[in-house]
Amino acid sequence: MTTTRRGGLAIELSTGHRFIRQKLAGKKWRWLCVKQKWLKCKAFLCTVDNVIVKMSDDHTHD
Ligand SMILES: [Zn+2]
């Protein structure tokens, strides 16, 4: 896990895709691809206690 320049938390997967932490739902954090905003990428993942419990690593870009 790393931090972004703006101070948010980010995860970088071995695939090279980065995800930015968004919001907490119960004990689960939801993370969205860094390119979600301008490339409408739908990839996301969820973590509980820093463990990835759900992942959709399906990107609209390389
Ligand atoms: Zn993406």
- Per-residue model confidence as pLDDT tens digits over 6-54: 667 999 999 999 999 999 999 999 999 999 999 999 999 999 998 999 9
Domain extent at residue 9: 2-56
CA gap 33, 56 in Å, rounded: 10
Q: Where is 39: in which H helix or E strand?
A: helix 36-39
The alpha carbon of 26 and the centre of ligand 1 are apart by a number of angstroms equal to: 24
The answer to whether residue 1 scores a pLDDT higher than 90 is: no
Do the domain assignments include residue 6? yes
The alpha carbon of 44 and the centre of ligand 1 are apart by a number of angstroms equal to: 8
CB 35 within 8 A of CB 61: yes
What is residue 38's three-state secondary structure? helix
Q: What is the pLDDT of residue 21?
A: 94
The alpha carbon of 20 and the centre of ligand 1 are apart by a number of angstroms equal to: 11
Specify the higher pLDDT residue, 1 or 49.
Answer: 49
The CATH number of whichever domain residue 43 belongs to comes to: 2.20.25.240
Do the domain assignments include residue 61? no
Specify the higher pLDDT residue, 2 or 9.
Answer: 9
Q: What is the pLDDT of residue 52?
A: 95
The alpha carbon of 27 and the centre of ligand 1 are apart by a number of angstroms equal to: 24
Count how many domains the chain has: 1
What is residue 29's three-state secondary structure? strand
Q: What are 32's two structure tokens?
A: 């969205």
The alpha carbon of 3 and the centre of ligand 1 are apart by a number of angstroms equal to: 18
CA gap 25, 37 in Å, rounded: 21
